[in-house]
Every structure is written in C-alpha cells, then in structure tokens.
Structure 1
Amino acid sequence: MLQDIERYLACPHCAQGLTLDGRTLRCAAGHSFDQAKQGYVSLLAGDAHTGTGDTADMVAARSDFLAAGHYRPIADALAAAAGTPLGDDGLVADLGAGTGYYLAQVLARTGGAGAALDISKYALRRAAKAHPRIGAVVCDAWRRLPLRDGCADLLLNVFAPRNGPEIRRVLRPGGRLLLVSPTSRHLRELVAALGLLSVDEDKERRIDEKLSPWLTRTDRVEVEFRLSLSRADAAAVVAMGPNAWHTDADRLTATLAELPEPVEVTGSVQVATYC
C-alpha cells in the first residue's frame, strides 16, 4: 500500500519528499497527486512520457500466464538472489514491475516494503493488489524516478528498461540491482515457429557496457527450464510482450493452429547482480 512506501517517495516536479494525506500525496512546495481508486498513484511529471505502456490486453495475457506458474523458476531465482531479510525499513523497488508478480515473490522472502514502478496504469492496477506491502506508482523509467536518493536496498529489473544513472541514484550504499534478461535460447522454439523477435547473442555484454559507468556486475546465474504450453499459453506469450506490437493477429492464430499441443518450449534467462 502507499502507506508502506510513502517515506521513500519524491515529488516528480521538485524532488522533495511526499507525505500521504488521506488519498493524496503532497510535497512542501504544494504539488499534490491523488491516488486512483484502483490503488496506484501517478507520479508522472505532466502527461508527457518517453515510453508506451502495456495495454489492458497485454497485461491480462501476462497475468494469466504468470498465474499459471510458467515463469516460477525465474521468480524463485530472483528470491534466492535477494538473500536475507531486509527488516521493517527495507525497500525493494521494481523498475518495470508490470503486475507485481516478481516483486511479490521477492517481498515474501525479504520482508520490507515494495515499490512497483511502471508506465502502465493497467499493470499497476494489478500490482497494487499483488502483495499487502506493495505501493504502485506510475512513472517513466527513462526520467528521474520518483524515489528519494539512496533509499532502495534492492532494485529489481525483469525484462524492463534499465536507466543506469537513476538506478545508481536510488540505491543505498551497498544496495544491489537484480536484473533478469533473456538469453538467445529463450523461447527459441516459438521464435522459430512464429517468427517472433529474437534475442541478440551479445545482449549480456551490451547490458554490462551500458550499466558500467554506474554499476558493476558481481554475480550471474543462468536459469534454464522447460515449458509445456497449450496453444493458448503460447498465444499469451506473444500477447504479453513486445511481440504484441509486431504480430498480425490473424496470421498468428493460423500458425498456432498448426503447432502440436502441448508445445515444448525452452525458458532461458540470466539473473545478474550489480552493485
């Protein structure tokens, strides 16, 4: 809930701290932000932003797919990397939190409060209900994050934009970034069968290079697992991510109908730790 993360939030206009007054966040300069009835609050600095948020259909597809447990190995690996409990004053911030699925799993391991940060209000409607200690905040990952300097013990980033200088700013001294990215083998069977976007084999090096001015990778764990998907599950994989913007729906339906059921698919990601 917003009460759990109030002390960590900062005004997107003036960067001063925010105080929750009923259902409204206010700063000393007089800026105010009302909580939506669905539980999230928008801390965008005006209406402009640099990204395109996930649509309601994309979020629904992701919610159903994750609820079925298909990516549980990723959530388990994240929780293991998070390590020991943080205590009552610990903060886990998830940049590109989506529905809050991964953040909820980590909080169950670490305790503390969770800030779900995303550009999509449709995703945050679900994130706000994913765990009792999650506060959901609409923001732009490529701009100044609405968090105070040095407030986060852990920052999660799962298949999401990575803003190196802002991640460094909001992490506490000794804080860590846990970053999940796909390998070139991730969903390779569907990539081949459905003509989906593929992952560059050089992705790991490029991520390290882009983050290197601010963060250093200290650990990496590869997580590979098998998925046995129905055609509906396979369609959800396409619908819940960036392929949704690049796929013709009628052609996808026709191609899926030709696949065997279940579809055996490889899941392959790396969970990297940066300090």
Structure 2
Amino acid sequence: MPSAELPLLCPVCSHPLEHLAATAARQSRLLCPNGHSFDAARQGYFNLLVGRGSPFEPDSAAMVASRFNFLGNGTYLPLAQAVADAVVPNLPQEGAVVLDSGTGTGHYLRRILDAAAASGREVSPIGLDISKFALRRAARLNPEALNLVWDIWQPFPLAENSVDAVTVVFAPRNPAEFARVLRPQGVLVVVTPRPGHLGDIARLTGMLGIEEGKDERLAGAMVEHFELDATFDVDIPLELTRTAAADLAFMGPAGHHLDLGQIAARLEDSREPVTAEARFRLFVFRPRRNAAP
C-alpha cells in the first residue's frame, strides 16, 4: 500500500492530501483538510483530474495491452536496468521519494523499486499518467506505489522540494515542474530514442521517425532549470515474432492513428525472427543551483 506520508497536494485547493486506508465500508481515499476527497478506483489508482480534465488523448486500452505484453517479456530489461542504475545510487537510504512521470504500465518503476530494495533503500513511489488503462496495469504491477491519473502539462499535485528522483521514459517533459518538486540534490533521468531506433520495423509499421536535433532541443528545454550531468547509450538487438513486433509498434504513438490489425498486416510478409536494434539515450540531469523555482 502507498505510504501515508507522501507529499501530495489537493488539486482543488493545494492543501496537503492524506492517504486513508481502505475500510470495510469504502475504498482507500485521499483527503485534504478542506474536505476534498478522491476515492481509489477499484483497480487501485486515483484520478486527480478535476474540472474539464485534459485535452490530450490518453493511450487506449488496446495500446496499453500491447505495451504490457511487450515489456512483460523482458526485451527492454537492459534499458530498465540502466534507468535503475542511474536512479538508485542517488537515493537516500531512508525516506526516498521517486516520481515516475508518464509511468505507463509501471515496468520501469518496478525495476527501480526492486533495485532499491536490493540495496536496502526504502522508497515511496509515485506514478503519474494520463491513461487510466495504463494505471490499471501499473497499480497491479506496483501496488506499493501511489498511481495517479494526471496531465503532465499541469502543475503536479506534489509539494516543492519533495522528490529525490524523477524518471521520464518516452513521456512528455515539464521541466519547470520537475525542478519545482525535486530536492536540490535530486536527479532527473530522461530516456529518448536515438536515430535509427527500430530501423525496418519503424519504416514498415508507420512509426514516427526520430527528428533531427532532438537532443539539442531536449537540452534547450532543460537548460533553464537543469544541468546535464551524464549521458548513456543503450542498444538492444531485437529478434521478435511478428506478433511482438506489431505490439512494439502499436504501443507507441503509431497506435493513435493505426489499429493493431493494420500494423500486423504490414508485417505479415516479414520473416521471423523480425530483426532490428532498439537505440536509446539516457540523460541524467541535476537541478541548476541558481534556477528560479
């Protein structure tokens, strides 16, 4: 179960939220001093979006199922381990808070939590995502995390200087909010694809290409609030079934404009195993000491 001590703020009035455990009469809930209450969904996550919600399209249940199937087979485990290796040594032994921004199905956060536990660190995890379908999966995979439906472009429902690490794996980036919630000695880890990522699979299935100058734009977006500490490349050779290759393509942005059947049809003439190379770049940022909050 999530810790009752997490630094949550009410999205209505910005007062602290307390996590109340489930009782025989009702689900667990988040409650602020002004009486604003948010009950856990039956699947274990909380929806903190209020008012009009978000204009952004969340990943569908089908896209999330493909992501869960693909990541669950361990193909991207070297990337998940690289993220954990960048995060865990920077955490305090006790009282650490990790925010996985755009947590999706929670697979990358799961690896961080397992690595932290193996090193004897106590971690309170928080996962944010706009897709309730993704958070249903994440809540099952990471029951100790507080999984919240949230729009990454809105101010986070978290107190200032309350988080020791933020991870962003193929998700939108809100540098000002990352800087606001990170503690001065905290770490921000961002993962993006590199040119040539997935090669022929991307071309065959209609996946979006990697834009030129992507790294420079990332650095430019971060420079006001963060200093780049290190970069690491992670390359993973892939040998996939056509089904796994279709899941891989469908679980990303291509899934918003193509259905799984269309993607599978584009791969039906491909020989098995379908080969490609996943190419990632991992960026480690530190809060800029003179940055405005």
| Both proteins in one fold, TM over 0.5 | yes
Distance 1:63 1:152, change over 3 A: same
- In structure 2, the partner of 1:228 is 239
Alignment check: 8 A CA contact 1:6 1:18 kept: no
1:249 Cα offset (Å): 5.1
Matches within 5 A, 1:88-167: 88-110=94-116, 111=121, 112-167=123-178
Tell me what 2:290 maps to: none
Q: TM-score, normalised by structure 1?
A: 0.95
Give 1:46 shift: 2.3
Residue-by-residue CA offset, 1:180-208 (whole Å, 9 max, x unaligned): 00001211121223332101131111111
Seq. identity, %: 37
Q: How many residues align?
A: 274
Partner of 2:18: 19
**Structure 2 unaligned regions, length at least 5:** 22-27, 287-293
- Asked if structure 2 preserves the Cα contact closer than 8 Å seen for 1:5 and 1:135, the reply is no
Partner of residue 69, structure 1? 74
Q: What code does the residue aligned with 2:13 have?
A: C
One-letter code aligned to 1:24: R
Mapped partners of 2:163, 2:137: distance in 1 = 22
Which of the residues 60, 66, 69 maps onto 2:65?
60
- 86, 89, 112: which one aligns with 1:81: 86
Shift of the 21–254 alpha-carbon distance from structure 1 to 2, 3 Å rule, reads closer
Contact 1:50–1:142 (CA<8 Å) still a contact in 2?
A: no
Q: In structure 2, what is the equivalent of residue 198 of structure 1?
A: 209
Q: In 2, Cα distance between the equivalents of 1:47 and 1:87?
A: 40
The one-letter amino acid of 1:37's match is R
**In structure 2, C-alpha distance between the alignment counterparts of 1:248 and 1:21, rounded to whole Å:** 40
Residues of 1 paired with 2:43 and 2:265: CA distance?
Answer: 37
Determine the C-alpha separation between the residues in 2 that align with 1:115 and 1:158.
14
Provide closer, same or farther for how the CA distance between residues 42 and 205 of structure 1 changes in structure 2, counting only shifts above 3 A. same
Is 1:53–1:120's contact at 8 Å kept on the other side of the alignment? yes
Counterpart position of 2:33:
28
> How far does residue 254 in structure 1 lie from its aligned partner after superposition?
2.7
1:274 aligns with one of 280, 285, 289 = 285
- CA distance in 2: counterparts of 1:70 and 1:187, whole angstroms: 13
Do the aligned residues in 1 keep the contact of 2:58 with 2:130 (CA within 8 Å)? yes
CA distance in 1, matches of 2:137, 2:208: 27
Counterparts of 1:87 and 1:39, CA distance in 2: 27
Aligned residue identity for 1:96: G
Q: How far apart are residue 83 of structure 1 and its match?
A: 3.6
CA separation of 1:54 and 1:195: change in aligned 2, threshold 3 A: closer
Deviation (angstroms), 1:253: 3.1
Runs of 4+ in 1 over 4 A off after TM superposition: 248-251
Amino acid at match of 1:79: A
Distance in 2 between the 1:214 and 1:88 partners? 26
Match of 1:38 among 43, 52, 58: 43
Contact 1:188 1:265 survives alignment (8 Å): yes
